[in-house]
Every structure is written in C-alpha cells, then in structure tokens.
Amino acid sequence: MRKFLYLLLSLALMAAVITYALWTADRPVGHYLSDLRINVAVDQGTPADRGNLLGIQPELFPTDYQSPGRLRRKLAAYLQAARDQGLLNDKTIVVLPEHIGTWLMVSGEKDEVYQAATLKQAMHWLAVSNPLAFLRALAGAKGNSRLDDAYLRMKADAMAQDYQALFGGLAKEFGVTLVAGSIVLPEPSVSEGELTIGRGALYNSSLVFGRDGRPIGQPVRQRHPVFDQRDVLEAEETQAFVAIDTPAGRLGVLIGSDSWYPLHYRQLDEQHVQLIAVPAFVIGRDTWDKPWAGYKGLSTPSEVSLKPGEITEGQAWRRLTLTSQVPVSQAKGGVSVFLRGQFWDNGSTGQSFISHSGQQFPDGEARGARLLNLWL
C-alpha cells in the first residue's frame, strides 16, 4: 500500500511538473486593436534645409509590448503620420521618451502578465513563467533591491537585441537620426556595431541610431537616477558627455532628471552641442500637478534656488530643463519628451515641450500621442 501511494504521488508530481513546463512554454499572441492616431501638438519655426528636431510622445500600454513587432507597428504608424505631415527629411532628429525600451522586458510573455491588475502581479507572473531565467538573474542580482534587479536583468540579452533591431530598423526605414529613448540594461556598450551587455550593474541608457540603422557612438548612461530607482540603477560617474554628430548638428542627450543640472549643460557647451534631447518619464497620473519633491535625496546644485514644494512637478521640469537657455546652455534648440500611457496600476504623466531661443513651447494636452516639432 505504501509503495502504491509513493508511486501515485510520484506520478502526480511528474504530471504537475510536465504541465507547468508546457504552460511556461506556451506564449499565445492574442488580438489587440491599438490606437495608432497621433496629433501635431507643437510645430515651431519655418521649414528650411537645416533639418528639424521632432519629439514623439507615444501613448503605450503593456499589450503594446506583447511582441517587438506589435510595438514597431505602433511607432511606425507615428513616424508615417509625421512623414505625411512633411516632418521627416534626411536631417530630422527623432526623439523618443525615457524607458520606452525598458518595457521590452515583458515582450513575448503569457497573457497573465498583460492582464495583471498591478505591476507587482505582472512581475510575479513574469518570474513564474520564466523560472530558470529568473533564478539565474536572482543569483547574479546586485544592489539593495535584488528582486527588482532580477526582473530587469533576467531577459537583458533578448531586450538588447530587440531594442537594436526595433529602433535601428525604424531609423533606417524612415531615414532619420533616432534617439531611442532609454532602456535599462547591465553594463551596456556597443562593440563592432552591436549593442551588448555585461554582468555588472544596471544602467538607464540611451542609444542614438543613424539613418543607416546603426548605433552612433556608445550608449549614454544616466548620471542621476531618481530617488526611488537608486536601489536598482547605478549612476554613471566615469563616462564624460560626448557630442553626437548628426546631419542637423551636434547633439547631446540628457536622460530624465539629468536635465536638471546646470553643470551638464556647461559640459555639453564645451562639446559645442547645438541640440539637446531629453527623454523623460514621470510616474503617477497626477504627479505633474503635485508639489515638486526636490532633488530627492541628492544635493541641490548651488545655482538652483528652488525649494521642494514651492512649485509643481511640471513647473520644475520646465524651469530646470535648461535646453536653449542662455547663458547656461548655448544650444539653439531642445526637446523634452515624456512617455505616456498606463502600465498596470502605474499611470504616467508629463507634458512634452520644445525649447528654442530661450522660449518654451509646451504641449497643453494631458492625454494622447503627440508630435512636437522644431524647425532648425
């Protein structure tokens, strides 16, 4: 009798393991009707032969990341709309928002990930459906939040490949220079034209692709991750700012809150930067109109007199992002573009804006995909 029970238990356990293995391997791609519309919110300046700086503020959701092809379809529709409006040429620099590449971590996953009610539940399903990859990532995780580190690290190799194929492909297809927002990867670098990863700390990084679809230079790593990300993300401290030569002029990239530091603009001025791209992302549907929380644990630059709480988050972004504001920045133009949409229970906010000759031209709408254009 005891042997029979052992046998029965062993068979049940084997059946459960096989069922789980089959479940983790199943990756159905469900039908999803995505809104491909986008409106021109700001069109500043006069068309000439000097090119233009074009910010794309997409509106994205977890299901847009179900496959790289699905995300490509949406972004290509935005770029095609820009082309139809006469906003693309061989000197156009397109700027996408911060973390647009980071969410590739959920690409190719099971329906339970996209249907989860909260981000925490989605990450639980991500780990459960990729047990070996998650355990390997957890074993190599770093920092004070090893669980979050593992979620971001577990599919990093595939994320890097998808990021380059997707955004490099769009740059080549539409014949533009493309600032591909940002992506969180472990020690990213470009070697022989390929984006590669290491085994060290995670960095929030941005890569620029040329009209041929190939990376230009090395990834720009964020120097000042926001407070609630510093347990996971490493701050870049050794890499100097390097200007990127484009058909429209010398370009500098400041990721998110890196755009709040006057020192960074002076360093870009030394590189004779003419244009500045600021990919950005602000979590929380109402954060933009709430009191500004300050530099969130980091020392406030001596040139900044603003105090936490005396202005809103949105006002702080517009006052601290100093693109094209003489004498701090000698750049002739800049664009700050925010990622919009709903990622499980985490909404996003931020109203993108163009900077030109000391003036700012904001998008006044809170929702929907938007194009912001500056003719140079």
Burial 132-163 (b: 16+ CB within 10 A, else e): ebbeebbeebbeebbebbbbbbbbbeebbbbb
3-state helix, strand, coil in the chain (%, to 5): 35, 25, 40
CA 317 – CA 285 distance, rounded (Å): 16
User: Which region, left, alpha or beta, applies to residue 143 given φ > 0 means left and ψ of -120 to 50 means alpha?
Assistant: left
Question: What is the topology classification, in CATH, of domain 31-107+155-375?
Answer: Nitrilase/N-carbamoyl-D-aminoacid amidohydrolase (3.60.110)
How would you write the pLDDT of the chain (376 residues) with one tens digit per residue? 555 445 445 444 444 444 444 445 555 655 566 789 999 999 999 998 999 999 999 999 999 999 999 999 999 999 999 999 999 999 999 999 999 999 999 999 989 999 999 999 999 999 998 999 989 988 888 877 888 999 999 999 999 999 999 999 999 999 999 999 999 999 999 999 999 999 999 999 999 999 999 999 999 999 988 755 657 788 888 777 889 999 999 999 999 999 999 999 999 999 999 999 999 999 888 899 999 988 876 678 888 888 888 999 999 999 999 887 878 889 999 999 999 999 999 888 889 999 998 889 988 776 789 999 999 9
For residue 11, what pLDDT is reported?
43
For residue 31, what pLDDT is reported?
53
CA 42 – CA 353 distance, rounded (Å): 8
Tally Cβ neighbours within 10 Å of residue 30.
9
For residue 296, what pLDDT is reported?
73
CA 337 – CA 203 distance, rounded (Å): 20
For residue 59, what pLDDT is reported?
94
Where are the strands (E) in 77-174, listed by range?
92-95
CA 350 – CA 348 distance, rounded (Å): 7
